[in-house]
Structure formats: C-alpha cells, structure tokens
Structure 1
C-alpha cells in the first residue's frame, strides 16, 4: 500500500502494521482517504468488491466469503507482512543482497530477450516492492540497508525501461520518480546514472530532445563518468542520439567521436554493474549512431553503423538485433535499395515483429514508407503479403 501511494501521490505512504490488521480483522469497515486509494490500487478493484463500505454509505452486512478472500489475497500481496511483528526480526545480510542481485540479473536477461513486455515491467516492479518489504522484515547494517535500497531502485529502473521500450511513457515516468527516490536513499551513483540515462532516452522517444539532453546531462555529470571512461562513453553516445533527434548533425558527430575515444580508453576488466556489462559495448555505440544518423537523414552512414552493430552484437541481444535490423532496412529503403530493404525487414525475427511494440511500430512505418517510395512494385507486393500473413497470425 505504501508503494502504491508513492506511485499515486509522489510521497511515501504512511500505512502502518496496525492499519493492515484493522482492515483484515474488520475493525475498519469504511476505509477513507489515502487508505482507500492505496487499497484500490493494490487490489485493482473497488472497496465494495473487497467487502468494505464506501464512504457516505451505511456499512453492509458482513460477507464472510468476501472477507476470507480479502484475507487470503492480502496475505499473498501485502508489501509489509505481519509475520515479523509476531516473531523476532531476523538480520539481513550478504546472502539477501546476493539473492536480489541474482533476480535482477534474471530481469535484465529477460529484457534483452523479449523487451518492452508488460509482464517484465510488472515483474520488475513487484521485485522492487519485495526488496522494500525485506527492509521492513529485519535488522541490517547501514551498508546492507543501502544495498537493499539500491536493488529496489535497480528493479524500478528496469520496470521503467520496459515501459519505455513498450511505449508506455506514463508508466515509465511513474517508475522513474520512484526509482530516483530509492536511488537517493541508496546513495548509489551507478543506479543514479542508469535512471537518469534512461530518462534521457525516454524523453528522446517522446519527441522532447531538450528534456532528453537535460536528463542525460545529469547522468553525465556524475563522478563515475570521470572514474570510468565506459560510463562517459555511454553518456556521450546517448547524447549523440539526442542531437540526432534534434537535427544537430555537427553535435552528433562530435559526440560519437568522443564516445568512441572514451570507449577505447576504458578498461574492459574493470568491475561494473551487471546491467552495464550486459549491454554496453561497441555494438550498442553503433546502434545509437545508427539511430542518430537515420534521424538526420544521413542514410548511408546510418546503414554502415547498422551493419557494424549487427556484426558485433552478442547472441543474447535479441531485442537489439530486431531493432537494428529494422533500422537498417529503413536506411536501405531511403537510399532506393528497395529489394535489400525488404529482405532486411523480412529477416526480423517473427516474435519481435509481432510482440515488441517498438519493432511493430517501426515495421509499420517501413511499410508505409515503402508504399510511398515504390508502390505496386514486386518488392512492395512481397512485403505486403509477408506483413499481412505475419500480423494476421499474431491476432
């Protein structure tokens, strides 16, 4: 309930253990205000459906079946379980942190494979709540407590990224707000970098390059970009993509040149968070350059970076491969190489072409542009038939 209130109001909730006990026992029959909003958000139904009286109405007769259902579901979903209040609190330690890190690595792996799926967003958000409930379940040193907050922030940042990738920008903004608060409590510069860097990408996709540059600048000004050139490289590469979206070719080329230099200076063996090691390398830098030059209309240069990206992508980067392939197809189409463009677009894996929101949108835009550039041609007919069959099977 407290996490729900943080999402809804932007301020931490103050629901206590006593509040929950009164709700379950029936002592509270007519929840009001923040308690009502939190209950309806957590259970995704009205107070009446939970067996409570709504404000301004007389209390209904007690429905024992509804009450039992509420207690059962509440026990399963409660973010602050009552068990610790009845038993001696345990001490949180390194094993708890390691378990959170393993689950975070699983979220990152699923994101690279499937990307943008609502189930990934919900899973990451639930794991953030689970990490916060762990905080309330026992004692911990300051160092361990900060690591738990950092894990919760990391999970929220993954939920944010899944929402960005799925074009659910309102959800992404909410996750970002919560993730920022958790990152501040953790005092972890790495997760702060991830959140603000994601923020820059989110605003770029929303068509707000000024906000994108401002958010990305927050990430780039963190001290770790001076300590590790690889973080500086990522910040610069994303800045280059933002310049591309804003139509500033000179600034984009300068940023990508600096990003490449910083990457060459970085130590590949330096210790880094799992999310950084999992995705940022030469292939990702070229992918961002592909994005920028496509936006700038420099299609030949965009295609060159696209082929470099595809040649260097690691096997687990399924989503990145689908996105880069679709962009290469668009760059080829804009250069008049229609047959190659259609062949590239048809090589996008079928699961991504029907399930990944960003890829689906890009392929539909490709089809519309193909119809504009080369209507009624053999490649256009081939694509139209392929697209019809592919998307029909997905419905």
Structure 2
C-alpha cells in the first residue's frame, strides 16, 4: 500500500504540474533549473564526504519536491519541464542512494519508485541509467542477485551505454559485483576486463552528469572488483584490487576510502595476517566507523572474525581497546 501511494503521489504531482495554474504568468526558465542543479552538486559532494546519513537523504528528498513544486509555479517550455523532471529524479535517486548506503532498504525502495516515475517523465537517459543501476545495487545489498541483474540489465540496455563507453563501463563493473553475490567466480575476470576496456575508450567529457564525474573512475572500478572477489572468497585478488582502489581514490572520496579499507582488512584477515588486518581496520576514521551504517557493520563483522580466528592475540586485544575508544567518543 505504501509503495502504491508513493507512485500515485508522483503521478498526481506530474498531472498537477502539467495543468495551468493561477501563477502561470511567471516564466520558468533554464536559470531556475541551473540553480537546482547547483544544489544537486552540493548533495553529491556531501554524499561522498559522509554517505548514508539521514540528513542527506532528507535534503535530497526535499529538493526533489522543490523541483516538482517549481513545475506548478508558472509557464515553461517542454525542454524546461523535462529538465525539471530530470532534476527531481536526480534528487530522488540521491535520496535512494543515501538510504541504500545507510542500510535503510525499505525507504530506498520508496525513493526508487518515485525516481523511476520522474525519470520516465523526463525522458533523460542518463538519469534513467543512474536509477536502474542503483536499483541493481539495492537488490544486490538485499541478497537478491537475480533481481539485481535484471535491474542492472535495464541500465546496460539503454542507448546511452552505446553512445558513451563510460556508462557501458559502469554497467559492466556493477554487473561484476552482482556476479560476485551470485558466486559466479569464473566470469569475474572477463567482466573486469570488459569494464576496463570500455573505460579506456571513454574520452574526458566534461559534460557528463555531475554524479558520474564525481565518482566513477579507475578507483571505483577496482572497488567493485574488490566487492566481487570478496563475495566469492578470493582473498588475494580482493586484496590486490583494494590496494589499487586506495591508491587511485580522489581526496574527496572519504566514504569510499573507509569502505575499501574495511574490505581490505577482511581480505587480509582471511589470509591469516591478523596483525596487518587489524592495523588496516584501525586506520578507518572514527566518524565513518561509528556513523556510516555499512562501514560500522563491516567493522563489527571484522571484530567477530578476528576474535574467532585469533582469540587472545595481541591484535584482538588492540582491536577491543580501539573500538572501546570509538564508543567512548560517540
């Protein structure tokens, strides 16, 4: 019932926006859209610094509503209206991603439904790709690889992946992560090679969407490979990709660095190097360790594995003291 209400609400807003209103004398232009896009850039930047926070999710959802409300505030060309729907979809997809990142999956599903509706109204291929690609990630985190693959295939089959190899690369890289969850070990190397080859063909286009420019690069490709190889238990290859990811990460990717470091610690511990793994895990910043849901969960699982594999060791003792200090500061 909640899902149907969300979808119906989106269509109601869309119909209302298309109808002439009392304030139709005002002319809405691309300058209004650009002001909203500047706010979207700020949301994306905040997500990469902090990630998964409820206030990021709420801010993005509020800005999606602001974009829809602007539709009702006056007259506009079809181009402007389509751009407003695309911007609203962008904000809603950021709310969806913040909810995924914060492990608030039911809320993410609600944002996804609204985002999909808005993206269809916009006709914008890039935002459609983002939303369906995020849907694949959502289902992957829910442990539903068949649904994840189907959603990611929608993204990969959009025309934009044939026009721009950077989108094709991201679609294949996320497919690789889904293959990991599905334990399809044999196909991982081939998928990584295809994603890497597509990335090598992509030019440095400054007009790509800000959300894509902000995060997808060699570091993210290795991060998704790290995810895949961890899922199938290939610890040495996972560690290799972790180091490549961390070496290539841009400074603003604080959330991504914390996630990659936590995964690296798991790969090192699984290979029997408890001391190095513990040092890696202890290097994760306290704010990410205590406030980012995915990082917190990974480090809790790391602690449990450390106590199981090296009980009473100096590493286990150091980790216990370290996490106690985190809790004291929280």
TM-score, structure 1 as length reference = 0.79
Q: Deviation string for 1:347-379 (max 9, x for gaps)?
A: 001110010000000000000000111010001
Report the alpha carbon displacement of residue 389 of structure 1 after superposing the two structures with TM.
Answer: 1.7
Alignment CA distance shift 1:135-1:162 (3 Å): same
User: 1:325-340, aligned counterparts within 5 Å?
Assistant: 325-340=261-276
Q: Which residue of 1 aligns with 2:182?
A: 246
Q: Which residue of 2 aligns with 1:98?
A: 34
Distance 1:85 1:212 in 2: 41
Give 3-state SS (helix, strand or coil) of 1:91's partner.
Answer: coil
User: 1:131-142, aligned counterparts within 5 Å?
Assistant: 131-142=67-78
Gaps of 5+ in 2: none
Alignment CA distance shift 1:11-1:263 (3 Å): closer
Q: Which residue of 1 aligns with 2:254?
A: 318
Count of equivalent residues: 326
Q: Deviation string for 1:167-226 (max 9, x for gaps)?
A: 000000000000000000000000000000000001001101111000000000000101
Gaps of 5+ in 1: 18-79
User: 1:1-395, aligned counterparts within 5 Å?
Assistant: 9-13=5-9, 89-269=25-205, 271-394=207-330
Alignment CA distance shift 1:16-1:206 (3 Å): closer
Report the alpha carbon displacement of residue 86 of structure 1 after superposing the two structures with TM.
Answer: 6.1
Give 3-state SS (helix, strand or coil) of 1:116's partner.
Answer: coil
Give 3-state SS (helix, strand or coil) of 2:225's partner.
Answer: helix
Larger radius of gyration: 1
Distance 1:222 1:15 in 2: 23
Distance 1:168 1:118 in 2: 9
Query: Is the Cα–Cα contact under 8 Å of residues 129 and 155 in structure 2 kept in the other structure?
Result: yes
TM-score, structure 2 as length reference = 0.95
Greater relative CO (CA pairs within 8 A, separation 6+): 2
Give 3-state SS (helix, strand or coil) of 1:167's partner.
Answer: coil
Distance 1:125 1:294 in 2: 33
Alignment CA distance shift 1:8-1:391 (3 Å): farther
Report the alpha carbon displacement of residue 301 of structure 1 after superposing the two structures with TM.
Answer: 0.6
What RMSD, in angstroms, separates the aligned Cα atoms of the two structures? Answer: 2.0
Distance 1:11 1:300 in 2: 45
Alignment CA distance shift 1:285-1:88 (3 Å): closer
Query: Is the Cα–Cα contact under 8 Å of residues 6 and 178 in structure 1 kept in the other structure?
Result: no
Distance 1:88 1:242 in 2: 47
